[in-house]
A and B are shown apart, each in its own frame.
Chain A
């Protein structure tokens, strides 16, 4: 079985500062990796994903994540955050058939002015 660990439940950060949200996973098989974001009063939305190819993946709004197989990590980073990035972020893994996804417990990113 797979599991996902997000050690930080909350991350406060000032606007324009860099941020890293950590994600580690455990799996006996190869997996796909995802980051989802949930803005207040909305459903979860896909932020970025790693399926294959380059281990560094980027989103359209400046986030990036790097798949590190040896450390079984998929940390999410942004060099300069905005107030609008305030949301809860979920890391997830899926087996190759996409039949089941395993989510972490979420990290609340609170960007302060």
Chain B
């Protein structure tokens, strides 16, 4: 069974440009989460999808960030326009639907974003 995959693994862009990160969760997982780790600090919650619906997007920093999960499968996280402080590692994680999971999150390897 394939794990959570993220693309790209590393992206280097200039301030003001746009970047789109993609996450493919484990097949059948209803829950999809985006997290971000900036400069070795704590891993911070960005948002949570249940299927195609945003359950909680309280961690999204501002309106330059847009996450989508059309059809309840893969998800994209777009940053437009990117700022220097957006640099960090963006993690995607998935888990089975409510009542089916045990609290374990399955993580991708992360997408490292560097904004110059």
Contact = CB atoms under 8 A, between A and B. Distances in A.
Q: Is chain B found bound to chain A in the same assembly?
A: yes
Interface of A: 4, 9, 32, 34, 36, 41-46, 49, 51, 90, 94, 97-106
Given A43-B91, A44-B107, A45-B107, A98 B42 contact: no
A43 B103 contact: no
B87 interface: no
Contact of B109 (A36, A43, A103): A43
Contacts of B41: 105
Interface in B30-85: 31, 33, 35, 40-45, 48, 55-56
A99 B56 contact: yes
A27 to B, nearest CB: 15
A98 B104 CA distance: 9
Contact of B45 (A41, A44, A46, A100): A100
Interface residues of B, number: 28
B28 interface: no
Contacts of A102: 42, 45
Contact of A104 (B35, B42, B105): B42
A4 to B, nearest CB: 7
28 contacts: A36-B105, A36-B107, A42-B109, A43-B3, A43-B110, A44-B43, A44-B93, A44-B105, A44-B107, A46-B105, A49-B102, A90-B43, A98-B31, A98-B95, A98-B101, A98-B103, A99-B55, A99-B56, A100-B48, A101-B35, A101-B45, A102-B42, A103-B35, A103-B42, A103-B43, A103-B44, A105-B42, A106-B40
Nearest to A88: B40
Contacts of B21: none
Contacts of A44: 43, 91, 93, 105, 107
